[in-house]
Structure 1
Amino acid sequence: FIFLASTDCVDGIVARRRKEVTVLGEFMDPLADKLLVTSALVYFTTVAWLHVHWWMVVTIISREFIISGLRVLAARRKISIPALISGKVKTTVQLTAVITTLLIILLRSATGKWNFYYGWLDFVYELPMYLMLFAVASTIYSGVRYIKKYFYLFGDAI
């Protein structure tokens, strides 16, 4: 996961530096981000002690479908929707939450295997839930920003 997220970041930097940003790239890059994050989030819901709930994942996935639909409508009109700052923040928050949660899963696995216990681990084990709440909040905020800015594209579709 960390490798894929890193290559996605590097790919974006290289494309911008070389001025090779394309409409296809602007559409596919967010789609790849969505698939990567969604797969991890769905997995997290199966790990009870993480307290990552289905409603969190459904909220995030719903926003992604709505904004992807908006991008499709825009593409039909030959309009490119670049990533907004709020979208980049949302992606950063989601990736941070996912990577941190993966590291906490590894930490719990290691401490459980060797029977280590430190009081501060109780807080660490609750951290994924709080990170996910922050990810959900940034996801909702970002979705609202996109819809407000590009709502006019829904005109014919509604």
Structure 2
Amino acid sequence: MNLANQITLARILLIPLFMISFLNQQSMITALFIFAIAAGTDKLDGYVARKYNQITNLGKLLDPLADKLLIAAALIMMVQEDMISSWIAVIIIGREIVITALRMVATEQGIALAADQYGKIKMVLQVAAIIAVLLNHVPFSLLSDVRVDMILLWLAAGVTLLSGLNYIILNYKLLR
């Protein structure tokens, strides 16, 4: 297994550690750091794969799976703790299920559907929103009563929905 795939696998293995830390309310800062490190490995594994020509079919499968698992785990746990509304988690996780299904259909037809720029923006917004929620509106609360964490979360949900619709529209023609 090459270095890029090992980094992706490490991201997957960090998810249970994040969840354990999250459940221990006294370790929320630890959970935040674990989440941030795991999210950061997404950029790192892609960089390593491209720089050292380590792009593999396993990596193409594991990388988006790791992203989806990390985001879904965080959202589900935040819903469970009443930190966010369930509708936001449903939009974000639902989009991932639909796009994954679309990619599976494409793969069966021998078509590779690449991620687009909107999907990358979506991921950055999701990570930023989750980190802001985990910070419980700090340090923004020191400056304003405006809930920046919730604004980021709504923005992430909106961009997630729009990027999913865009992805479906652009790739529907390929699958007809």
Match of 1:149 in 2: 170
Structure 2: give runs of 5+ residues left out of the alignment.
1-34
Tell me how far apart the structure 1 counterparts of residues 141 and 99 of structure 2 sit (CA, whole Å): 42
2:69 pairs with one of 27, 35, 39:
35
Match of 1:78 in 2: 110
Tell me how far apart the structure 2 counterparts of residues 42 and 60 of structure 1 sit (CA, whole Å): 11
2:81 is aligned with 1:60: no
TM-score scaled by length of structure 2: 0.71
Match of 1:6 in 2: 40
Residues 23, 80 of structure 1: 8 Å contact kept: no
Structure 2 CA distance for partners of 1:119 and 1:22, relative to 1, 3 Å: closer
Structure 1: give runs of 5+ residues left out of the alignment.
109-117
% same residue? 37
Deviation at 1:79, TM superposition (A): 1.7
Deviation per CA, 1:16-48, whole angstroms, max 9, x where unpaired? 112322344233211211110111111112333
Q: Secondary structure at the match of 2:135?
A: helix
- Across the aligned residues of Structure 1 and Structure 2, the Cα RMSD in angstroms comes to 2.3
TM-score scaled by length of structure 1: 0.78
1:120 pairs with one of 135, 138, 142:
142
Q: Which has the higher contact order (CA 8 A, sep 6+)?
A: 1
Deviation at 1:154, TM superposition (A): 4.8
Tell me how far apart the structure 1 counterparts of residues 113 and 41 of structure 2 sit (CA, whole Å): 22
Instruction: Read off the aligned partner of 2:110 and give its amino acid letter.
Output: K
Q: Secondary structure at the match of 1:104?
A: coil
Instruction: Read off the aligned partner of 2:123 and give its amino acid letter.
Output: T
Give the total of aligned pairs.
142
Residues 45, 53 of structure 1: 8 Å contact kept: yes
2:153 pairs with one of 112, 132, 138:
132
Instruction: Read off the aligned partner of 2:49 and give its amino acid letter.
Output: A
Instruction: Read off the aligned partner of 1:15 and give its amino acid letter.
Output: A
Deviation at 1:10, TM superposition (A): 0.5
Tell me how far apart the structure 1 counterparts of residues 141 and 153 of structure 2 sit (CA, whole Å): 22
